[in-house]
């Protein structure tokens, strides 16, 4: 019998920013309003960045990094010469945020002058080495420089981080920087990999975690037994998140051995058990263990076990075990088990949102009758999201009709279902071009332009040209589209923007507590209006209107995030306006961190996510709005379909 104990102790909260000065509220309001105007506020922020007051300069530089025009970048580079160390750090952090917000190729193509110096001091001169400016004089390298180098440095710079990896005070930051470079698809050399492997044995648990995380994030890792051995060693680590990353890394490298990993299905921390589920699901022995596990595991582990079994051709003996277990199950567990066992669709007794997940099972079912029953039940549902769940199972004519829908969520789901299918299908491609010509929604327009570029649809060039003006997310996708069609295009300009229709002054300098009473229990979140005033003001305004009451959590990725705030429950919904990106430097997205979901710069809205565990690749890219102060165990247990019963907010 598998047994489970309570999770290990929670990690430390993210490093908090210095407390705001008592008299700086009006300054913060001014900076926030300038930030929200985007290109229209750059001149004001540049002027504030020249203030004799250090605090004013620091706030202005943070705002310039979030906007990232050529004028803003020049001001940030100038600030690297500032005699004040705090101002230098603020400039370095802001450049790193700018690089994170500008997904390649924009930062590297359009701002080549903005390669960050890894060395700073009163004399600023050096030489380029591996895409990084290296100071000729001896100055102290710090974690801010390392972090920013990981976000924006060009290929070749990763070798410059190896020395930092060997310095105790810099090793954690260097390992995370190398992980970010892996996520940016920058390959490591053998020497870099060897240095990261060595760091997995560091006596500092934070360094061991960071190095393990880096090995898991390496881009297209080659077969390397030393890396695999290092990850296996970390399976014995005392830190649960390190164990989870080690299993995930072995799985990614296709080096997870069933006899080494299967025991972690009963790990005392559910996040480790979830990664073990993913590691063993394709193995017949693992499937048999999962068939038994679903009856005794905590909800997140059982949920993941059923999802993973649903995505596999299940071993016959595992099916026999699951058939014996199924009568003891109830609710969603029984629904999933019956679907995996191919019980006729009408007899599954599944409620609500569970049916949407069953569409994934129907994709791989060899039983044509069962598949047809699934499609029919989903399409006949009165729930729009359930209808959309059937889209990946239907054929081109139905998808073309859905793509023309006035409902953006329906059209978006249809485009997602089209994906890379139907290559060369003239009717499908004509429908994509036609929708792109008139689409104004930021996220859907972006995805349409991406499809036109990837499919090389010359007929869509005019639609992409039309997208160059307007929202920066769409504009950049339009520029990508035209480049893929062989056209030379200038960098999309960041235009002046209109702030969201909320009162930012109502939250700046205030203490804001957000309470979510969910179907699983209560979650208390301390919001951070001085870090992300526009997004916090949006949360407050929407909460006061009752916007979040009754909304379901539409996305759960165990050992990563739970996401809610979408009135359509499809991932495409929002409040009817967008919010400016307000990312912060520092380790924000740890367990309990709360952020704003978006589809690119300045495209956030009402959707938020709560972290299950640390995800350093989100830091500096997504807007962090606060952290859970109680109820993390509730957030961990949430699954798709759970709801916010009532949201309340206290501002004082």
The pLDDT confidence band at residue 353, using thresholds 50, 70 and 90, is low
**pLDDT at position 99:** 87
**pLDDT at position 130:** 41
CA distance 431 to 419: 13
CA distance 569 to 555: 9
DSSP 599: S
Establish how many alpha carbons lie within 13 A of residue 537's alpha carbon, considering only the half-sphere containing its beta carbon. 24
Is the C-alpha dihedral spanning 90, 95, 96, 98 positive or negative? positive
- Output the six-digit token pair for 233: 């060693």
For the chain, give the percent of residues with pLDDT over 70. Answer: 90
Q: What is the mean pLDDT of residues 125-135?
A: 40
Quick count: other Cβ atoms within 10 Å of Cβ 1? 6
- Output the six-digit token pair for 53: 């007051």
The partner residues of 561 in beta bridges, in order of sequence, read 557, 611
CA distance 200 to 361: 38
Quick count: other Cβ atoms within 10 Å of Cβ 456? 12
The pLDDT confidence band at residue 22, using thresholds 50, 70 and 90, is low
From the DSSP assignment, how many helices (H) and strands (E) are in the chain? 30, 10
**pLDDT at position 18:** 47
Please classify residue 297 by burial: count the beta carbons closer than 10 Å to its beta carbon, then call 0-12 exposed, 13-18 middle and 19+ buried.
buried
Q: What are phi and psi of 609, to 5 degrees?
A: -140, 150
CA distance 266 to 1: 10
Q: In terms of Cα–Cα distance, which of 184, 121, 125, 123 is closest to 154?
A: 184
Q: What is the mean pLDDT of residues 52-78?
A: 93
The pLDDT confidence band at residue 289, using thresholds 50, 70 and 90, is very high
Tell me: pLDDT of 396 over 90: yes
Between strands 521-527 and 561-564, the pairing is unpaired
Q: Which of 253-262, 342-351, 407-416, 427-436 has the lowest mean pLDDT?
A: 342-351
CA distance 641 to 354: 8
**pLDDT at position 373:** 85
Tell me: pLDDT of 301 over 70: yes
Produce one character per residue of 391-413: b if its CB has 16 or more CB atoms within 10 Å, e if not: bbbbeeebbbebbeeeebbbbbb
Q: What are phi and psi of 603, to 5 degrees?
A: -125, 20
CATH of domain 504-651: 2.40.100.10
**pLDDT at position 524:** 98
**pLDDT at position 103:** 60
Average pLDDT, the chain: 88
Q: What is the mean pLDDT of residues 290-307?
A: 95
Q: What is the mean pLDDT of residues 108-132?
A: 40
Produce one character per residue of 606-632: b if its CB has 16 or more CB atoms within 10 Å, e if not: bbbbbbbbbbbbbbbbbbbbbbbeebb
The string of pLDDT tens digits covering residues 171-228 is 999 999 999 998 889 999 999 999 999 999 999 999 999 999 999 999 999 999 999 9
The partner residues of 117 in beta bridges, in order of sequence, read 133
CA distance 24 to 54: 12
**pLDDT at position 374:** 84
Quick count: other Cβ atoms within 10 Å of Cβ 370? 17
**Spatial contact of 345 and 373, defined as CB atoms under 8 Å apart:** yes
Q: Is the peptide bond before 105 cis (omega within 30 degrees of 0)?
A: yes
- Output the six-digit token pair for 290: 């999962």
- Output the six-digit token pair for 288: 């048999």
Tell me: pLDDT of 105 over 60: no
Please classify residue 439 by burial: count the beta carbons closer than 10 Å to its beta carbon, then call 0-12 exposed, 13-18 middle and 19+ buried.
buried
**pLDDT at position 11:** 40
Q: Name the more confident of 392 and 230.
A: 230
**pLDDT at position 104:** 55
**pLDDT at position 357:** 67
**pLDDT at position 322:** 97
Q: What is the mean pLDDT of residues 521-544?
A: 98
Q: What is the mean pLDDT of residues 28-35?
A: 98
Tokens 């520092």: give the residue.
586
The partner residues of 158 in beta bridges, in order of sequence, read none
Quick count: other Cβ atoms within 10 Å of Cβ 458? 11
**pLDDT at position 231:** 98
DSSP 561: E
- Tell me the chain's radius of gyration from C-alpha atoms: 25
What distance lies between CA 236 and its chain's CA centroid? Answer: 28
> DSSP secondary structure string, 69-114?
-HHHHHHHHHHTT-SSHHHHHHHHHHHHHHHHHSTTTHHHHH-GGG
Tell me: pLDDT of 5 over 70: no
Where is 525: in which H helix or E strand?
strand 521-527
For the chain, give the percent of residues with pLDDT over 90. Answer: 68
Q: What is the mean pLDDT of residues 313-341?
A: 92
Tokens 């006035």: give the residue.
406
Contacts of 23 (CB under 8 A, 6+ apart): none
Tell me: pLDDT of 107 over 80: no
Tell me: pLDDT of 114 over 50: no
What distance lies between CA 8 and its chain's CA centroid? Answer: 24
Q: Identify the architecture of domain 25-253 in CATH.
A: Alpha Horseshoe (1.25)
The string of pLDDT tens digits covering residues 578-632 is 999 999 999 999 999 999 999 888 999 999 999 999 999 999 999 999 999 999 9
Q: What are phi and psi of 119, to 5 degrees?
A: -130, 135
Tokens 């350093």: give the residue.
616
Tell me: pLDDT of 352 over 90: no
The pLDDT confidence band at residue 106, using thresholds 50, 70 and 90, is low
């Amino acid at each position: 019998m598998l047994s489970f104990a309570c999770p290990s102790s929670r990690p430390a909260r993210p490093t908090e920013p210095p407390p705001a000065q008592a008299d700086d509220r009006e300054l913060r309001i001014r900076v926030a309003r300038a930030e929200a105007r985007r290109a229209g506020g750059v001149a004001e922020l540049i002027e504030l960045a020249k203030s004799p007051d250090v605090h004013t300069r620091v706030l202005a530089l943070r705002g310039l990094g979030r906007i990232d025009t050529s004028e803003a970048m020049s001001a940030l580079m100038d600030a690297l010469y500032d005699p004040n160390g705090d101002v230098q750090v603020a400039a370095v952090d802001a450049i790193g945020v700018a690089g994170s917000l500008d997904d390649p190729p924009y930062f590297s193509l359009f701002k080549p002058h903005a390669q960050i110096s890894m060395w700073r001091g009163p004399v600023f001169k050096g030489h380029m080495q591996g895409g990084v400016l290296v100071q000729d004089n001896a100055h102290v390298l710090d974690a801010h420089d390392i972090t920013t180098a990981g976000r924006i440095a060009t290929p070749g710079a990763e070798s410059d981080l190896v020395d930092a990896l060997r310095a105790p005070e810099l090793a954690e930051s260097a390992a995370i920087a190398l992980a970010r470079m892996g996520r940016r698809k920058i390959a490591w050399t053998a020497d870099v990999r060897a240095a990261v492997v060595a760091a997995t044995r560091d006596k500092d648990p934070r360094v061991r975690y960071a190095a393990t995380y880096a090995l898991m994030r390496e881009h297209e890792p080659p077969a390397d037994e030393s890396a695999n051995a290092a990850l296996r060693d970390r399976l014995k680590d005392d830190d649960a998140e390190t164990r989870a990353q080690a299993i995930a890394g072995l799985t990614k490298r296709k080096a997870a051995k069933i006899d080494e990993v299967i025991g972690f299905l009963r790990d005392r921390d559910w996040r480790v058990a979830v990664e073990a589920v993913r590691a063993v699901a394709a193995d017949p022995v693992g499937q048999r263990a999962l068939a038994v596990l679903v009856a005794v595991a905590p909800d997140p582990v059982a949920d993941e076990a059923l999802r993973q079994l649903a995505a596999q051709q299940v071993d016959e003996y595992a099916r026999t075990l699951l058939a014996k277990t199924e009568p003891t199950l109830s609710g969603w567990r029984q629904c999933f088990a019956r679907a995996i066992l191919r019980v006729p669709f009408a007899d599954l007794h599944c409620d609500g949102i569970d049916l949407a997940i069953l569409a994934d099972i129907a994709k791989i079912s060899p039983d044509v009758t069962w598949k047809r029953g699934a499609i029919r039940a989903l399409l006949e549902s009165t729930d729009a999201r359930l209808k959309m769940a059937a889209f990946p199972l239907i054929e081109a004519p139905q998808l073309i009709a859905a793509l023309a829908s006035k409902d953006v969520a329906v059209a978006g789901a249809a485009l997602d279902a089209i994906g890379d299918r139907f290559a060369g299908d003239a009717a499908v491609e004509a429908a994509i071009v036609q929708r792109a010509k008139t689409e104004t929604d930021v996220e859907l327009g972006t995805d349409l332009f991406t499809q036109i570029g990837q499919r090389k649809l010359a007929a869509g060039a005019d639609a992409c040209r039309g997208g160059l003006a307007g929202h920066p997310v769409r504009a950049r996708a339009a520029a990508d589209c035209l480049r893929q069609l062989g056209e030379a295009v200038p960098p999309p300009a960041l235009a002046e923007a209109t702030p969201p229709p909320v009162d930012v002054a109502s939250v700046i300098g205030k203490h804001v507590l957000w309470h979510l009473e969910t179907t699983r229990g209560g979650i208390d979140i301390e919001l951070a209006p001085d870090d992300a005033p526009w997004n916090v003001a949006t949360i407050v305004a929407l909460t006061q209107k009752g916007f979040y009451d009754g909304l379901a959590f539409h996305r759960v990725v165990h050992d990563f995030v739970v996401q809610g705030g979408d009135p359509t429950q499809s991932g495409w919904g929002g409040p009817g306006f967008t919010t400016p990106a307000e990312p912060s430097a520092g380790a924000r997205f740890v367990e309990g961190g709360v952020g704003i979901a978006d589809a690119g710069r300045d495209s956030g809205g009402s959707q938020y996510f709560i972290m299950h565990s640390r995800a350093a690749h989100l830091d500096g890219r997504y807007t962090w709005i606060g952290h859970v102060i109680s109820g993390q165990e509730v957030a961990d247990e949430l699954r798709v379909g759970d709801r916010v019963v009532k949201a309340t907010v206290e501002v004082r």
